[in-house]
Amino acid sequence: MKTSIDQGKRDEILNELGSANKIFSRFYPGDRTDRQPVHTVYGGAQLFKSETIRKMGQTAESHFWAYAPDASILANALKLSGSIDFCEKIYQKILNKLETEAVEDFRIDFEDGFGNRPDEEEDRTAEFTAKELAKGMKNDFLSPYIGIRIKPFSEELKNRGARTLDIFLTTLSELTKGELPPNFVVTIPKVTIPEQVKALVDLFKELEANTEIKPGSLKFEIMIETTQSIFNPNGESNLRNLIQAGEGRCIAAHFGTYDYTASCNITAKYQTMDHPVCDFAHHMMKVTLAGTGIWISDGATNIMPIPPNRGSSITEAQKAENRDVVHQAWKIAYDHIRHSLLHGFYQGWDLHPAQLAIRYAAVYSFFLESYSEAAIRLKNFVGKAAQATLVGDVFDDAATGQGLLNYFLAALNCGAISEEEVKVTGLSMDEIRTRSFLKILEGRK
């Protein structure tokens, strides 16, 4: 068969392309395979003690029992669709989660939750919370993921943020001989320029050099809270610059709803998680960070489901008012979380134990609603080895196969479905964990 291109020249061109492909692959190593928490709970540092997270779970469970004593009340409050059995399944899953692991991720907060206090007080609190964290490690009281949020590295607050970081980690290292809690992370808020990230990395290196903390073990996440985080002064996308300045230590990017909407000059009444300016930022984060292994998280709903009437002697009318207020706040949070899930943000913030049950209600309902249809479609698709198949009125192609796999990965990650429920698709857990539909098909050839 005739060809027109010299073999040597063709190899030269393709080898050059191969080098470029390798560089590209380093930028996009793929999604992480470890479990991503569905939320991060923030609590003021001044309130943190070793048993705080356990008590949060107990408070969350008591609150849920008080305002949703059965599945029908929860279904009515959240306007859940589906059968009685479906609502009951979600209800029981929530109860089990609150009893066993109500908080998946927690931040000891030295920023908004702590406020601006005298330096002496923040110094004492940084030392005290480190001691309490060490105690929590020893007694196994902590959540699976945990960390601290320091103050931003703005010109006004950079010294305070760095000093708190130093006191906290130095104290913790002395007590634990350099051991960090599993999945420990430092959150740096209001990041606007790569130099702020670089400064944090340099501080990490100094801490690791001068304590028993293992070199390279300190990780961080950035908070996207201003328009400058999205675009730099030249009008270029800034997100990758911020990540790259982290030298591989940045593991997540969290969106800050209220600071971001304020930076967009949105009035207080309309500062909500589903505002269009937030969706623009969400999509910029999603497009920029997809395939990089950087986790993304949405913000929080700031309307707390707290009853207005307290005490043991409240009237029946006041009890009814309490229930209505709590249920209204639940529904707002539920809708906001569902909005985040729809846009591919499978993690978000919670600010109060009373919000935890609704986090799980939204996550479980979102994934369980699609389970039966997704299981059938994926089983058929795999069975025909990527040949197009028609199920009902939905036509599946190869990209849809990956989308179906993504559904099961996310649903399994958050606990909405079990490994046994995944196996209904005909896939093994080893195949699921490849995270690639094409690799699964190649393995079956």
Q: How far is CA 67 from CA 80, 159, 319, in A?
A: 16, 45, 10
Query: 3-class SS at 220?
Result: strand
289, 253 Cβ separation under 8 angstroms: yes
Q: How far is CA 153 from CA 11, 149, 158, 159, 208, in A?
A: 49, 12, 4, 8, 20
Strand residues in 110-241 grouped as ranges (E) = 145-149, 184-188, 220-224
Whether residue 385 is found in the same domain as residue 350: no
Confidence of residue 434 (pLDDT cuts 50, 70, 90): confident
Whether residue 200 is found in the same domain as residue 301: yes
Q: Per residue in 252-283, pLDDT tens?
A: 999 999 999 999 999 999 999 999 999 999 99
Number of structural domains (the chain) is 2
Q: Per residue in 195-209, pLDDT tens?
A: 999 999 999 999 999
Whether residue 322 is found in the same domain as residue 382: no
- What is the domain extent for residue 192? 39-368
Max distance between CA atoms of the chain, in angstroms, equals 94
Whether residue 87 is found in the same domain as residue 103: yes
Q: Per residue in 305-317, pLDDT tens?
A: 999 988 778 899 9
268, 302 Cβ separation under 8 angstroms: no
Q: Per residue in 350-395, pLDDT tens?
A: 999 999 999 999 999 999 999 999 988 888 877 775 454 555 555 5
233, 193 Cβ separation under 8 angstroms: no
Whether 21 maps to a domain, the answer reads no
Which of 385, 401, 391 is closest to 435 using CA atoms? 401
Domain boundary among 368, 392, 415: 368
Tell me the C-alpha distance between 367 and 365, whole Å. Answer: 6
Domain boundary among 368, 390, 421: 368
Query: 3-class SS at 6?
Result: coil
Query: 3-class SS at 107?
Result: strand
